[in-house]
Structure formats: structure tokens, C-alpha cells
């Protein structure tokens, strides 16, 4: 049997469990997330000798902790900024195309997974060129029940390209639509 691995080895922060990321680093990751969103180019950059899959993979590894922190803090502005205008998003309710079709639905999802008293964790994350695969779950801090879970693949062309294809399987156990008081907590 192969040895178990730490999926966060050599990444800036570990989001595999609650309470592993210090406060100062959390704010730094939000600032980096804003910086990465601003680097996205209007045209999807070519993969070539100047922008190789190795560079893109490293940029995706650098981006990953900023994405996790943006979700934990309900930063819908950053999360939406990670997508390209021509995003294709496959999930149970999809497919969605562009940035408007999934917007209302995703806002409810973000509100539920970032609600006070719930912590989202990503026990598994893997990178291959422009592909990032991860599994996630949201755990109630008091009861320790899983309230939602899923697995996702992003096709992200590094900081310059952003995410142009997202596939997701997600399951919500308690709620599917967030109440207004939780929706108001999401930054848009």
C-alpha cells in the first residue's frame, strides 16, 4: 500500500482541517486573491514556451490557499473574479455558461458553506498543469456533522487566465437555499 500523503506539502497554507491557518496569514491570502484576480487577462493566454504548463501549475498552487480563504470569508467578489467571462460550469443544476446563469444559485451555496458556526475544509487537492481537483466538506463546529460536501475540478490557466471550466458534484444535507440573514454576509 502506498504511503499516505499530505496534499498541502509545499503550499502556503493547509486547509485540510479547521483552525490550521493563523489570522495574519488569512488576511495576506485575501490580499493575494485580490491581486490574482486583477492579473486575469481579457483573452485566454496561450500555453507556449513563455507560459508553460509548469508555470501555470505553480500559479494554481499559489492561488489555491487564496481560494480557500475567500470561501471561508464569504468573499463572493474574489470568487466571481476567479472565473472567466466565458466560464462553463457543469453541476447538477447546470450546465451554466458565462457569469450570470449560476450567480443566484452560487450565492446561496456560498452563504451556506461560509455561515457562522460552520467551517469548510478541503481534505484533498491535486494539481496537474491547468487542472485542479479537490474534495471539500463543511462541518458544523458544534455538532461536527457534515452539512455539505462535494468534489470539483477547475480548469484554470493560472493567474493570467483564470478558471474557464468548472465541474462540480455537491450535496447539501441541511439546506439548499440560504436564508436572507446568511445571504447578507456574502461580499459581492
Question: Of 86, 32, 97, 26, nearest to 59 (Cα)?
Answer: 32
Higher pLDDT, 176 or 4: 4
Quick check: helix, strand or coil at residue 142?
coil
Residue 183 has pLDDT above 80, yes or no: no
Residue 186 has pLDDT above 70, yes or no: yes
C-alpha count within 13 angstroms, C-beta hemisphere, residue 50: 3
Q: Indicate the pTM of the whole model.
A: 0.89
Higher pLDDT, 117 or 4: 117
d(CA 32, CA 171): 30
DSSP for 1-53 reads -PPP--TTTTSS---SSTT-S-HHHHHHHHHHHHHHHHT--SSPPPPSSSS-H
d(CA 178, CA 184): 10
- Written as nine digits, the cell of 126 is 491535486
Listed in sequence order, the residues at least 6 apart from 65 whose beta carbon sits closer than 8 Å to its beta carbon are 11, 12, 13, 15, 21, 29
Residue 33 has pLDDT above 70, yes or no: yes
Write out pLDDT tens, residues 64-114. 999 999 999 999 999 999 999 999 999 888 788 988 877 777 787 888 888
Higher pLDDT, 118 or 99: 118
Q: Pairing state of beta strands 118-128 and 131-140?
A: antiparallel
What is the predicted pLDDT for the residue at 172? Answer: 80
User: Cβ(150)–Cβ(172) under 8 Å?
Assistant: no
Rounded to whole angstroms, what are the CA distances from 45 to 58, 130, 158, 182? Answer: 16, 12, 9, 37
Write out pLDDT tens, residues 119-159. 999 999 999 999 999 999 999 999 999 999 999 999 999 99
Write out pLDDT tens, residues 41-78. 999 999 999 999 999 999 999 999 999 999 999 999 99
User: Cβ(161)–Cβ(40) under 8 Å?
Assistant: yes
Residues composing the chain? 188
Mean pLDDT of the 161-184 span:
84
User: Cβ(149)–Cβ(129) under 8 Å?
Assistant: no
What is the predicted pLDDT for the residue at 176? Answer: 65
Amino acid at each position: 500500500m502506498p504511503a499516505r500523503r499530505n496534499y498541502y506539502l509545499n503550499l502556503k497554507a493547509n486547509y485540510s482541517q479547521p483552525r490550521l491557518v493563523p489570522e495574519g496569514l488569512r488576511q495576506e491570502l485575501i490580499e493575494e486573491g485580490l491581486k490574482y484576480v486583477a492579473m486575469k487577462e481579457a483573452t485566454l493566454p496561450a500555453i507556449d514556451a513563455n507560459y508553460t504548463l509548469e508555470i501555470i501549475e505553480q500559479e494554481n498552487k499559489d492561488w489555491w490557499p487564496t481560494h480557500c480563504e475567500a470561501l471561508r470569508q464569504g468573499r463572493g467578489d474574489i470568487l466571481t473574479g476567479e472565473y472567466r467571462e466565458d466560464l462553463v460550469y457543469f453541476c447538477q443544476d447546470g450546465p451554466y455558461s458565462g457569469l450570470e446563469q449560476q450567480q443566484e444559485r452560487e450565492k446561496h451555496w456560498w452563504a451556506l458553506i461560509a455561515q457562522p458556526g460552520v467551517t469548510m475544509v478541503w481534505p484533498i487537492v491535486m494539481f496537474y498543469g491547468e487542472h485542479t481537483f479537490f474534495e471539500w466538506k463543511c462541518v458544523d463546529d458544534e455538532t461536527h456533522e457534515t452539512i455539505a460536501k462535494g468534489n470539483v475540478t477547475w480548469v484554470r490557466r493560472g493567474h493570467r487566465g483564470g478558471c474557464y471550466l468548472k465541474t462540480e458534484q455537491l450535496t447539501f444535507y441541511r439546506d439548499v437555499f440560504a436564508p436572507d440573514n446568511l445571504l447578507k454576509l456574502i461580499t459581492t
